[in-house]
Structure 1
Amino acid sequence: MSNWVLLLALSFIPFTTVMAKSILVFGDSISAAYGMEVQQGWVTLLQKKLAAEHNNYLISNASISGETTAGGLSRIDAALSQYKPDIVVLELGANDGLRGLSAAAMKTNLTEMIKRSQTAGAKVLLLGMKIPPNYGKRYIEMFYSIYPQLAETLHIPLLPFLLEDVALQPDLMQADGLHPNALAQPAIAAKVWQYLQPLIK
């Protein structure tokens, strides 16, 4: 094919296709739309907002219900290779806390996932989580302090608590008291958007 024919063909490819950028959401059940249709989840709602305002970004959701930071670490390299993200939205740790797993191991796993994402050329947005008060003050403080520590030392933005406007609203939570319901998803998407938008700009 001659050069001018190739250029002519490329001219008909939509600009957004040529310049499309990738956002990878890497989390657990909160991001995997547990207990509802996938299209109701906050990740899908966020993709719709991106399509309206920044249509050169596409979201891929590699979240798995029940995922721990150890499980995430075992999957992160394959996900980075497959999706080649420009931005990674990392939402893991809640299942470590709910299972009473080592806070130090959780911190190490999150650190490694962030560093591998950055090495792959991606910006990282960390989504913080909290666990119920019955796990004891010391463990809760250790757990929650991990997120701001990582944000500071690794120079990444942090959404302090993903369910900040949701967790204490019974009408926005599922019967288990741990997972947000479909009504909560727009608020979660809006919260993530506040912290994601600066990375896009």
Structure 2
Amino acid sequence: MSRLSAIVVVLLLLPWASTVTAEADSRHDDTRPGPVLVIGDSLSADYGFERGRGWVSLLAERMREHGHDRAVVNAAISGDTTRSGRARLPRALEEQQPSVVIIQLGGNDGLRGLDLGEAQANLAAMIEVSQAAGAQVLLAGVRLPPNYGRPYIEAFAAMYAELAETHQVALVPRILAGVGEREDLMQPDGIHPTADAQPVILDNLWPALIPLLTHSARE
């Protein structure tokens, strides 16, 4: 089996995880900001290692260390695409009433070679519904492997940049920067980072997230 075929098979067979929260009770009162909602795929769902060691759980700990008194709700599901994420986001927004939404989706669309026009439209809809609900948005992207060809890879990367500029949202173009290039931080499938990589992923996201946390704390 070729490496490309193995990648696709792994993604298609990923288990669908249930929604979990990084804190036992994600409900919030009127005296503190709403939670941070993470809607993503296996890169945010603790895939391949012990639950609770992923970057979302580490985010909850770091926020507490920096005095941000709010929950982190992990609504990531392994194997998720932008289409399914778009379908389930409205309910999550209604239930959680987040102040910040981190959208970490699109990688499975790209790895499956799905139409990028549809993926971009789905992500745009997710950004718009999050903003309409009063949440600030951080868009987190990934880079595709080189065997997908330069035109598709470049169009995929441009999708995130265009969305961030059009909708004026924070962007982390590559959440796996400093991770994907290191075999010691990647699982044997070559797609998913290890538990040891999770602090690096959080460090990639944190600078873009701090202003959103600070701003929403004032509202």
TM-score (norm 1): 0.90
2:42 aligned with 1:29: yes
The residue type paired with residue 156 of structure 1 is V
The residue type paired with residue 110 of structure 1 is L
Q: 2:88 aligns with which of 69, 75, 90?
A: 75
Once the 2 structures are TM-superposed, how far is the Cα of residue 144 of structure 1 from its aligned partner? 1.1
**In the alignment, what sits opposite 1:42?**
55
| Secondary structure of 1:57 counterpart | coil
Larger radius of gyration: 1
**In the alignment, what sits opposite 1:146?**
159
2:78 aligned with 1:61: no
Contact 2:130 2:136 in 1 (8 A): yes
**In the alignment, what sits opposite 2:32?**
19
2:114 aligned with 1:86: no
2:189 aligned with 1:196: no
**In the alignment, what sits opposite 1:179?**
192
| Secondary structure of 1:163 counterpart | coil
TM-score (norm 2): 0.82
Task: Give the unaligned 5+ runs of structure 1.
Answer: 1-15
Contact 2:35 2:70 in 1 (8 A): yes
- Mean Cα displacement is larger for which, 33-42 or 91-100? 33-42
Q: 1:119 aligns with which of 132, 138, 142?
A: 132
**In the alignment, what sits opposite 1:102?**
115
Once the 2 structures are TM-superposed, how far is the Cα of residue 200 of structure 1 from its aligned partner? 1.1
Once the 2 structures are TM-superposed, how far is the Cα of residue 20 of structure 1 from its aligned partner? 4.4
Whole-angstrom CA distance in 1 between matches of 2:104 and 2:79: 12
The residue type paired with residue 89 of structure 1 is I
Q: Moved runs in structure 1, 4+ residues, more than 4 A?
A: none
2:169 aligned with 1:156: yes
Task: Give the unaligned 5+ runs of structure 2.
Answer: 1-27, 215-219
**How many equivalent pairs are there?**
186
Cα pair distance change 1:112/1:185, threshold 3 Å: same
Once the 2 structures are TM-superposed, how far is the Cα of residue 51 of structure 1 from its aligned partner? 1.4
Q: 1:129 aligns with which of 139, 142, 145?
A: 142
